[in-house]
Structure 1
Amino acid sequence: MSKWKQFKRSRLALPGLVLFAAFVLAGLLAPLIAPHDPLQGDLANVMSTPSAQHWFGTDELGRDILSRILFGARISLVEGVLSAALAAAIGVPIGMLSAYAGGKVDTVIMRLIDVLLAFPGVLLAIVIISILGPSLANAILAVAIYTIPIFARFARGQTLSVKEEPYIEACRAMGMSNLRLLARHVLPNIAATVLALATLRVGINILTCASLSFLGLGAQAPLPEWGAMLANSRTALLIAPHMALFPGVAILLLVFGLNLFQDGLQVVLDPKSRGRA
């Protein structure tokens, strides 16, 4: 059975892929398809309701909300993908080395990981940003740091199941070095499940970064970040609800699409899940 047919076995995966692809295209093509400059205000047209000129209306400074959402898709995708990639690049090697070394090394590393896991993720991110200062880059770094233990734990569990396989024992008997064995045989065998986890974490991290921006700790004005747009709309909810509606729906649809896409991706990449699809 082809990978594509396996993907389609999860009935909600294809709609998830379509949603995700739509936001990726919106972000990439934003300069071409956005009807207005996302940073250009119009004080004569403040908080106007959706119309033919401004499909999603305008915000408190008269900026076109549709244009800001299109450009904001870029920022949100960068937040989610970059934070998940940084976390995986650090957490996966830590988990693999911990599981492969075993003994006291494994115990020490996992206790340190448990310390990080003991802190609620958003609270840890807030502490990190309080030290580094509020900005988009620091928000991405903070979210990546608190996501590292999740990848480390996951990679450790996957490595423990792989390292006892007969071919791993055969490689050891042939004198293959530990680092080469991990890079050439263990990592390729756990990469599929790690990729599925990373896809899921992209959606979660987008939501977390939006939460930080909503609190004023992430992207700063005038960047068209969706969480920051929601924060700016708080004082006008009763008179201009469209200012909160459209960025909120954008966050919902992107995270929802990523979760559905991850479900189908897991069916393709993780053979153990195919019988349950």
Structure 2
Amino acid sequence: MRHTLIVIASVMLAACDIGSTASVRAPEQAKAEFQVAPGDFAVEPCSDETNSPCALVHAGGKSFLFGAPAGLSGDLTAERLANLDGSLLFSLLPRDIEGLDEVRNRGWRAGRADALVVAGPEGTGEMLEALNLAYEQPDALSFVDEGAPRGGFDAALLQGGVEVLSQALAFDTGDVKVVGLAASGPYITYRIGYRDLSGNWHDLVLRPCTGPEAAAADYESAPRSQTVLSCDGEGADMAWPLTEPVKISG
């Protein structure tokens, strides 16, 4: 089994190298970084593929990456990747995880201080163990040849978070709650709830194409607003691929 995991991780890394080269923008084409205040609730795009969604969500000074398609790191600065509070996978299909090593490596070199917590469908922890193992030797060589990255050696690791089997609270910081919802298919839908400085809750639903519908939120405060990002024809307020940053509140 251990050998199988190493092979899977190696194949995934090879696929990432092929796909990411063509996706990274040239420096002269890079967009100006979207500015977010500590009290903002906002979402940024990080993929131009409808079937490989990706979004960077900012809420109350925290930032969470949803989805990890190939080439996503070309859309996000190294500082953004280094300061992630968590990563959440929409599925374990190759097209939805091929960019995870980019997030891992660029964030680590840019000064990530701790292991990045990654939540996702059942099997996410096993996949992360394989990826960490595949990078064990390259990390050691990089450490010797290039010196210690600012974050330290242990910060390179990907740490398994909550695995969503049906419905699970993936992150809860008090004013930010991320709930994952799974059904019979391979996809996870996420509902992000943010309580603003006035005490009002706002919902952002990130639903991949054919992903399960989000259940009603259960928060203490009212009123609350809900914004849905999904596919065309699904009653969504916004559709994949997201092309511009959107501020939900703040």
TM-score scaled by length of structure 2: 0.22
Higher helix share: 1
Q: Which has the larger radius of gyration?
A: 1
Bigger relative CO (Cα 8 Å, ≥ 6 apart): 1
Higher strand share: 2
